[in-house]
Copies of this chain bind each other. A is one copy, B any other.
Amino acid sequence: MKIGILGLGLIGGCLGLDLGSQGHDILGVSHRESTCKKAIELGCVHQASLDLSLLVSTDIVFICTPIGLIVPQVAQLASYLPKTTILTDVGSVKAPLVAEISPLWSNFIGGHPMAGKTDTGIDFAQRNLFVNRPYVLTPVATTPTRAITVLEEIVRSLGAIIYHCQPEQHDHAVSWISHLPVIVSASLIASCLSETDTTILHLAKNLASSGFQDTSRVGGGNPELGVMMAQYNRDPLLNSLQHYRQNLDEFIQLIEQQQWNTLEEKLKINQQARLDFLTKC
């Protein structure tokens, strides 16, 4: 198959490596000449160009740009591609994208591979990033069955575990387990900085260990990504944040009122719930 990859970052690069190794013909487009060169050098793509017209004869195109560019890119691609070309994206938010793209391109399926690395960029592309990772697909009622079948087959060939759901269900689910943790964790870092006694702040820094390190990790991550997810998944995220705030207030109240037995009960439920959450079903 001729597979196009638009946006040659970590995810685009990893897709290219895996799919190229299966014998597909991989065509990449980036907005930077140096990235095009690197993508060919690293074996992520067979051909690369700054020009969208490279993708004109592809069977399927994976759009791997930052979320904010996905809709504009589809609008541009629409004038180059035959109507049979399947389009899919890898953005971490689905409902607003699917709503905007569906009227532009019927052979579009929203996608979200739940895979990544701390290091970003094509330099860190590797084989088998998607193996045993969830890969969400959000076809809608009007999506042609053929497009779903073709994309599913490719995703399955990456070793990923496919989940189907509505775009809105995806966005609510990731608001809990992916976007809420970012704000929770960011607020932790910000609040530590509010300590005005420099001796205590200095001591806190020196004593900070794995507990602080893990809890603050996603809140200290890529700021552009953080803003994107808040911007594109605003309503589900605000809903999650309101629930979070209520739960936080309950914990504060239990500590204020010294209700230690109830606190212990809640922490026991939590301990079990986390194990359940991390055991896939």
Binding site for B on A (CB under 8 A): 114, 133-134, 136, 163, 165, 169-170, 172-174, 176-178, 180-195, 197, 199-200, 202-209, 211-224, 226-227, 230-231, 234, 237-238, 240-252, 255-256, 258, 260, 263-264, 266-271, 273-278, 280-281
Q: In whole angstroms, what is the CA distance A227 to B174 when docked? A: 30
Contacts of A269 in B (CB 8 A): 190, 193
Contact (Cβ within 8 A) A184 B184: yes
Count this chain's copies in the assembly. Answer: 2
A166 to chain B: closest residue by CB: B199
Contact (Cβ within 8 A) A255 B234: yes
Contacts of A163 in B (CB 8 A): 203, 206-207
Contact (Cβ within 8 A) A207 B251: no
Question: Chain B's nearest CB lies how many Å from the CB of A190?
Answer: 4
Contact (Cβ within 8 A) B260 A211: no
13 more A-B contacts (CB under 8 A) besides A190-B250, A192-B277, A244-B248?
A: A172-B195, A173-B200, A173-B204, A176-B195, A180-B191, A181-B215, A193-B269, A205-B281, A212-B278, A214-B218, A215-B217, A221-B271, A223-B267
Question: Chain B's nearest CB lies how many Å from the CB of A262?
Answer: 10
A112 to chain B: closest residue by CB: B207
Q: In whole angstroms, what is the CA distance A48 to B184 when docked? A: 46
Contact (Cβ within 8 A) A238 B252: yes
Q: Can you pick out 29 interface pairs between chain A and chain B where the beta carbons lie within 8 Å of each other?
A: A134-B206, A134-B207, A163-B203, A165-B199, A170-B203, A174-B204, A174-B207, A176-B195, A176-B204, A178-B211, A181-B215, A181-B216, A184-B215, A186-B251, A186-B270, A189-B277, A190-B269, A191-B243, A193-B273, A194-B246, A214-B217, A220-B271, A223-B270, A227-B267, A230-B260, A238-B252, A238-B256, A242-B252, A245-B252
